[in-house]
Amino acid sequence: MSNLELDHDPAWLSREDLDAAREKLPILYVDAVPVRVDERGEVGEVGVLLRLDAEGKVCRELVSGRVLHHERVRDALLRHIEKDLGPVALPRVPVAPQPFTVAEYFPTPGVTPFHDPRQHAVSLAFVVPVAGDCSPQNDALDLTWLTPEQALDPGIQAEMDRGHGVLLRQALAYLGHSV
């Protein structure tokens, strides 16, 4: 059974069970900021996914997803990058477990800069260089590569909801960029 099937395996968690758990427990997530780097490790571009949200409005998102039962954090990171960027993105999963930040998504807006109407999610956030070909998968319309300057554009930022715009700026700050 591949990792991708885990999400749909009733042995793990039915939709109903997950919905029940979401009302009672913080759910563990990983967020990944995909980047293109040169041979000096300098980030030239960050990758942002374009999707349609529930109301059919275009929105931009980072790679994000749940950590499953009995799954290592690094495997969850790899699985979600593969799920969103395709099987040949060649991600360089971070060597250390220390995330650059922890994003706390609350169902109530305003508690933190992060918001998720469905649940209380706590996400370990990592910057992940990708060296291969990336192509948007599943429900993503497009994957856009932006320079750090373009990523800070208010128009781009306005299209990122749930606080993903803040998380992207926090990632750029961590990378040593002006934000």
> How many other β-carbons are positioned within 10 Å of the β-carbon of residue 174?
15
- Stretch near its own copies under the rule CB under 8 A, chosen from 51-59, 123-131, 137-145: 123-131
Task: Examine residue 4 and tell whether it contacts its own copies (CB under 8 A).
Answer: no
Task: Examine residue 144 and tell whether it contacts its own copies (CB under 8 A).
Answer: no
Among 81, 89, 124, 143, binds its own copies (CB under 8 A): 124
Cα separation, 57 vs 39, in Å, equals: 37
Name which of residues 148 to 167 contact its own copies (CB under 8 A).
Answer: 163, 166
Q: Give the DSSP H or E segment for 155.
A: helix 154-158
Q: ∠169-173-174 over CA atoms, to 5°?
A: 115
Task: State which residue, 52 or 90, has the beta carbon closest to its own copies.
Answer: 90
Task: State which residue, 57 or 72, has the beta carbon closest to its own copies.
Answer: 72
Cα separation, 111 vs 133, in Å, equals: 38
- Stretch near its own copies under the rule CB under 8 A, chosen from 53-61, 133-141, 168-176: 168-176
Task: Examine residue 51 and tell whether it contacts its own copies (CB under 8 A).
Answer: no
Q: ∠165-77-73 over CA atoms, to 5°?
A: 115
Among 51, 71, 146, 150, binds its own copies (CB under 8 A): 71
Cα separation, 126 vs 95, in Å, equals: 11
Closest CA relative to residue 84, chosen from 41, 125, 44, 144: 144
By CB under 8 A, name the binding residues for its own copies: 12-13, 17, 20-21, 23-28, 35, 37, 39-43, 67-75, 78, 92-104, 106-108, 111-113, 120, 122, 124, 127, 129, 163, 166, 169-170, 173-179
